[in-house]
Chains A and B, each alone.
Chain A
């Protein structure tokens, strides 16, 4: 890949091809977070600098997705710590505005349910729940994105979905 050699135009093509995927993923994991653009920029810079380490260039999207997921996890843990120290207002997610105006009714209901519970979940449970319920990923893919074993992902999902059911 030309982008691996640091050619700017090729990097730009790669960016434009995957920018919306990365923005969308970050936004779904961190709704209403004003720093999502910074996070996406960080992820692309990291990915494009380390492009030579990617063994299968066709897997760029998944690789970038895992970078975004890791960055989100890191940010969530940091936010939680700051909240515990009283240095940050605890996150509140406006689950009523999460769905687009054209979304079908049942999807709106599902999105509101999921996003209504997110703020109360630990970061790994939260990410796993969004990847599963919103992005529709299968367990192995979630495990790849999160860098966890499939059994750990299943446990995280089970706990998160119990909380979802409890709030029903």
Chain B
């Protein structure tokens, strides 16, 4: 290339290089790479007992759409078709699973109910009869907008917690650690009945605008509520205000751990923390993601991911949280922790911008000079050179 990269006409071609475009592309690339990897398949899949299912055109359509990564899939679960769906259709759907990778997936039932499976989530259809539809949330988050049907119950099970609804909009989230899982139920409209995990669990009604959560011990996927032991009493609180509980659920198990209302309770390893932060970011839980990156930095400052975690924390604070001083602190740390990293140049350029935005001109000039010395022909040279004025 030419000696002075800034003089290339290429740098003046109008092209969208926004963060959102890069993010979108990475979602696609990571999903395809994950698909190619052995092990669990995170790309959206629909896996009922396919042989009987494929005899039914409406199921075939659902499968094809899912395989193509379609955003909305129409399937007939527990609704009008049940009446004449017969045993074959029922059997076809028992044990069916839905799993998402980087993208969310919406499933519309023929009765108008809609289920939205957030990225990195998995549900299995456990039971489907004219009187009950039971879905097991194995991981991630499931949002449901359930149409009221007389005589039909819609049940979501998550780590032993049972959420039974009549007609409402709500979401269930389960976050796993090595030793426990935190199940959260958030009701946006209507009323749901929640029965916590544990043999002595009693049902409580959760009304619009309230969030219920419980920490339960982790068991292998697929166990029943009776097999799971509750580790802590559930709480309810007004959403979205994370204030102290406003309605206390019945305390059941003595010696139980306290419920953690907003974050998973255990620090595992840096790999898990990094993965969790990415998941939280993808789900739009930016503050949680920033907290998780910070936790990784605090708990594992010597880990190989710490530099990247600091860089990502800086990006989040800068681009999403509007905390330029905090971003500068994180980016300084990224630069210090990862001297030979791939992202060093970007981190240093961002550090200049963050300091400039925070009106810290001394730090800005220092960061700018450092960038220009280390990357005299860097891709951000022109922007950096013009900063701190």
Contacts and interface: CB of A to CB of B under 8 A. Distances in A.
Interface of A: 2, 6, 8-9, 11-17, 19-21, 23-24, 27-28, 31, 37, 40-41, 44-45, 48-49, 97-104, 107-108, 110-111, 114, 133-138, 141
Nearest to B13: A28
B10 interface: yes
A134 B25 contact: no
B341 to A, nearest CB: 7
Interface of B: 1-2, 5, 7-10, 12-17, 21-22, 24-26, 28-30, 32-34, 36-37, 274, 278, 304-305, 308, 341-343, 346, 379
Residue of A12, A13, A49 with most chain B CB atoms under a 10 A cut-off: A13
Contact of B342 (A8, A14, A40, A41): A14
Contacts of A44: 25, 29
Contacts of A23: 15-17, 21-22, 25
A133 to B, nearest CB: 7
Given A9-B274, A11-B33, A45-B32, A16 B26 contact: yes
B30 A8 contact: yes
B15 A102 contact: no
Contacts of B16: 23
Nearest to A25: B10
B303 to A, nearest CB: 11
A104 B9 CA distance: 9
A37 B33 contact: no
Given A24-B15, A37-B24, A45-B29, 17 more contacts: A11-B30, A13-B341, A15-B25, A21-B379, A23-B21, A27-B15, A28-B10, A41-B28, A49-B33, A99-B14, A100-B13, A103-B12, A111-B13, A135-B8, A136-B2, A136-B8, A136-B9
Nearest to A45: B32
A24 B10 contact: yes
Contact of B308 (A13, A97, A101, A141): A13
B38 to A, nearest CB: 10
A138 B15 CA distance: 23
Residue of B1, B17, B25, B304 with most chain A CB atoms under a 10 A cut-off: B25
28 contacts: A2-B304, A6-B37, A8-B33, A12-B26, A13-B341, A15-B26, A16-B22, A17-B342, A17-B343, A19-B25, A20-B17, A23-B22, A23-B25, A24-B15, A27-B13, A41-B25, A44-B25, A44-B29, A99-B13, A100-B14, A102-B12, A103-B9, A104-B12, A134-B13, A135-B8, A136-B2, A136-B9, A136-B10
Contact of B21 (A13, A17, A37): A37
Contact of B9 (A15, A45, A107): A107
Ranked 5 nearest A-B pairs via Cβ: A103-B12, A136-B2, A136-B8, A100-B14, A27-B15
Contact of A101 (B14, B17, B32, B343): B14
Contacts of A138: 1
Contacts of A21: 379
Contact of A17 (B7, B37, B346): B346
